[in-house]
């Protein structure tokens, strides 16, 4: 049995990740995070402390019986469950992922529901499945009514966690959520994983296309995409904060002060592949070469630190001249 | 990858403990107050009727496995009504079973299906209900859940829908069973009710928990729940609360949990068990526990259906 193989003959995995700041005035301690992510009373929250604080909720399922969006208008009905999980990084970032494994062609009739519950996170097509068209359909645009809406499942889970009473709803700064939609087709036999595209679309949507060998578990694929989404969010948010601060303009002290939340809450979060399966970690290198995620991040961080240093010197000089 | 990870965190990789499994768990009866009120004669009659079916189950198990492991169990209701005491009742039940040539390996209390050793078992199972989606469910809206109820299909539209449609006289719309064979047998199961802030689980819901326990599929934070404790002989306590959730009476018994269950029940339980199947059809059991049972059965070369309702069978004998 393969890792994709909670399904009989899986042909693709896809999902959608919502990423945002935890709406709380300070970073949430590990115990509170565990409480926040306890979506089920009988299952543990998985918690890591190294190399950074990282917690994953149990998976919760949503039943679906609908069409998959497909380029070219093919209509494929699928039945099964969407698996959703929430992840908190460093008690500061909240992500919710909804994902499915799509099994190969199946019989034309729906099974008893317990059949699908024995394959959590798998949907089975009724009849044929045009994989390429479905992959394109999933990546393109928004779902029409009656077509699988993974984003809505992720959004509901995010909202459920975000309402938790442990959160004071006072985020230290304003930021926007991002959405990352990903599709992974099976890699050809003998070939390793690959990242075929990473696209920044408008209104906060990112799309990622992957090829993954059958041995990669859906959870590992989700963790990779959560990692991509997290770092993309950090970069996007820091770029916006620096822009808004008008760093380097006349009113330098104001600008530097406005960046304080970034220093307090964001700069230490950059840690690509901290919780990514090692066989998938090399996919990051592709993004490091082009466009160079870490290069851009470091440049921004350096710029903020230079400005802080300059400010410190100015303040010191002003203090001396005041004597 | 051949190189194992050097650094590990146990909190990051929780384990699910496995439980020993017999081939068949055979339930020899389910005792309610009204049965008890019938006295020892009524119990004797029950066991005499069950005996041939118990033999048949043993014979069937022997067809599948060369050395079949069959364990027997008996459930006493101490949840809906409290009657008698373990000290009085358990020896009587055992004596009547023995008269009919039956051995009761394990004895369980119904209230343990709600809360066992401080673990809210029923509540945890309720959190594992995943509603069967009606055709057209695309994930965009949460499942239409009636708090405390679970159906095997789509309910008939209620008054609100009719008002929304601005219809003066709303024509009756039937409910529909999902997966019906042409005609529906729609069933709506009450999971619990509440009175003065106290929740009482319904009989079918506890019976569904009981089936999951007997199938070895219940876990709490990775640990088995409703594990039997050895209590081979009298004296039994004077209070039900002092009796463990499940006791093992026969030291030589096959494991309590099994790949499949058989229950011998009077016909009046048929509606309850229909409801149990509707519930079990929509419960996502612990995936690791499911995997463990599947691997073990495969290792023994035994077929085990993926679907939980397919693992449970009944004998309904005449009677009320």
Residues of A in contact with B280 (CB under 8 A): 114
Q: Is residue A98 domain-shared with residue A14, that is, in the same domain?
A: yes
Chain A nearest-CA distance from B202, in A, is 20
Say how many CB pairs under 8 Å bridge A and B.
Answer: 121
Indicate if B173 and B97 belong to the same structural domain. no
Q: Do B182 and B206 share a domain, yes or no?
A: no
In the prediction, which pLDDT does A1 show? 38
Closest residue of B to A144, CA-based? Answer: B138
A277 touches chain B (CB under 8 A): no
- For B61, the 3-state DSSP assignment is helix
Contact B138 A66 (CB under 8 A): yes
Mean pLDDT of A173-192: 93
Is the predicted pLDDT of residue B158 greater than 80, yes or no? Answer: no
Tell me if B6 is assigned to some domain: no
Provide the strand spans (E) within chain A: 10-21, 46-48, 54-56, 60-68, 76-89, 93-103, 122-125, 178-186, 194-200, 205-212
Domain residues for A243? 235-322
Residue of B nearest to A279 (CA): B1
Task: Name the pLDDT band for B160 (thresholds 50, 70, 90).
Answer: low
pLDDT for residue B213 = 98
Q: Residue B17 corresponds to which tokens in the numbers above? A: 């403990």
Q: Is B124 on the interface with A (CB under 8 A)?
A: yes
Contact A114 B306 (CB under 8 A): yes
Domain total of chain B: 2
pLDDT tens, position by position, B96-121: 999 999 999 999 999 999 999 999 99
Distance CA A139, CA A71 (A): 10
Residue B193 lies in a domain: no
Q: Is A228 within the bounds of a domain?
A: no
Picking from B121, B139, B311 by the largest number of A CB atoms within 10 A of its own CB, the best residue to mutate is B139
Q: Report the domain count for chain A.
A: 2
**B142 found inside a domain:** no
B254, B257, B284: which is closest to B103 by C-alpha? Answer: B254
- Output the pLDDT for position A2: 43
Verify whether the Cβ–Cβ distance A48 to B11 is below 8 Å.
yes
Same domain, B181 and B216: no
pLDDT band of A144, cuts 50, 70, 90:
confident
Higher pLDDT, A314 or B254: B254
For residues B298 and B232, membership in a common domain is answered with: yes
Give yes or no for A1 touching B (CB within 8 A).
no
Taking all residues of chain A, what is their mean pLDDT, rounded to a whole number?
91
Mutate one of A53, A109, A113 to test the B interface: name it (highest B CB count within 10 A).
A113
Separation of alpha carbons A162 and A175, rounded Å? 15
Q: Does residue B312 lie in a domain region?
A: yes
What's the Cα-to-Cα distance from A267 to each of A103, A264, A271, A302, B98, rounded to whole Å? Answer: 41, 7, 10, 11, 73
B2 touches chain A (CB under 8 A): no
Going by C-alpha positions, the residue among B301, B133, B74 that lies closest to residue A124 is: B133
- Best of A7, A66, A118, A120 to substitute, by most chain B Cβ atoms within 10 angstroms, is A118
């Amino acid at each position: 049995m393969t890792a994709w193989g909670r399904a009989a003959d899986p042909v693709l995995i896809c999902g959608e990740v919502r990423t945002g700041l935890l709406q709380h005035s300070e970073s949430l301690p590990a115990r509170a995070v565990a409480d926040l992510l306890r979506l089920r009373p009988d299952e543990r929250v998985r918690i890591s402390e190294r190399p950074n604080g990282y917690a994953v909720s149990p998976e919760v399922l949503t039943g679906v019986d609908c069409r998959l969006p497909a380029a070219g208008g093919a209509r494929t009905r699928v039945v099964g469950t969407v698996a959703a999980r929430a992840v908190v990084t460093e008690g500061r970032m909240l992500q919710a992922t909804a994902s499915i494994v799509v099994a190969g062609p199946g019989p034309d009739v729906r099974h008893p529901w317990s059949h699908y519950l024995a394959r959590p996170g798998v949907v089975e097509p009724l009849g044929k499945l045009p994989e390429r068209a479905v992959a394109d359909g999933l990546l393109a645009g928004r779902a029409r009514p009656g077509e699988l809406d993974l984003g809505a499942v992720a959004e509901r889970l995010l909202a459920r966690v975000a309402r938790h009473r442990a959160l004071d709803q006072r985020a230290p700064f304003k930021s926007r959520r991002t959405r990352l939609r990903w599709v992974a087709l099976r890699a050809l036999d003998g070939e390793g994983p690959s990242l075929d595209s990473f696209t920044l679309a408008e209104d906060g949507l990112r799309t990622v296309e992957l090829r993954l060998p059958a041995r990669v578990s859906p959870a590992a694929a989700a963790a990779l995409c959560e990692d991509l989404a997290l770092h993309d969010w950090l970069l996007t948010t820091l770029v916006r904060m620096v822009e808004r601060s008008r760093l380097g303009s006349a009113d330098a002290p104001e600008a530097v002060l406005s960046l304080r939340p970034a220093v307090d809450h964001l700069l230490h979060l950059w840690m690509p592949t901290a919780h990514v399966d090692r066989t998938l970690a090399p996919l990051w290198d592709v993004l490091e070469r082009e466009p160079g995620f870490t290069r851009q991040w470091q440049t921004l961080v350096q710029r903020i630190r230079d400005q802080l240093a300059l400010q410190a010197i100015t303040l010191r000089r002003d203090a001396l001249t005041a004597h | 990858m051949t190189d194992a990870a050097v650094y590990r965190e146990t909190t990051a990789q929780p384990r699910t403990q496995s439980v020993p499994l017999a081939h068949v768990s055979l339930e020899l009866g389910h005792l309610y107050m009204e049965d008890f009120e019938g006295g020892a004669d009524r119990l004797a009659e029950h066991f005499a009727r069950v005996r041939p079916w118990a033999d048949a189950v043993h014979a069937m198990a022997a067809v599948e496995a060369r050395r079949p492991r069959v364990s027997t169990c008996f459930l006493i209701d101490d949840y809906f009504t409290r009657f008698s005491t373990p000290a009085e009742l358990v020896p009587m039940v055992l004596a009547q079973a023995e008269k009919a040539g039956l051995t009761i390996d394990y004895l369980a209390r119904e209230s343990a299906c709600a809360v066992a050793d401080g673990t809210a078992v029923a509540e945890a199972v309720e959190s594992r209900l995943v509603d069967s989606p009606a055709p057209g469910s695309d994930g965009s809206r949460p499942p239409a859940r009636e708090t405390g109820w679970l159906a095997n299909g789509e309910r008939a539209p209620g008054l609100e829908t009719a008002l929304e449609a601005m219809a003066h006289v709303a024509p009756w719309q039937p409910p529909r069973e999902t997966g019906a064979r042409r005609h529906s047998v729609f069933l709506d199961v009450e999971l619990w009710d509440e009175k003065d802030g106290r929740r009482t689980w319904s009989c079918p819901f506890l019976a569904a928990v009981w089936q999951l326990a007997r199938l070895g599929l219940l876990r709490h934070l990775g640990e088995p729940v409703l594990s039997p404790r050895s209590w081979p002989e009298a004296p039994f306590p004077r209070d039900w609360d002092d009796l463990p959730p499940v006791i093992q009476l026969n030291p030589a018994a096959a494991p309590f949990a099994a790949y499949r269950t058989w229950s011998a029940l009077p016909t009046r339980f048929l509606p309850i068990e229909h409801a149990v199947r509707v519930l079990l059809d929509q419960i996502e059991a612990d995936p690791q526990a499911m995997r463990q049972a599947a691997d073990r059965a495969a290792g023994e070369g035994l077929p085990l259906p993926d679907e939980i309702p397919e693992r449970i069978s009944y004998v309904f004998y005449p009677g009320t």
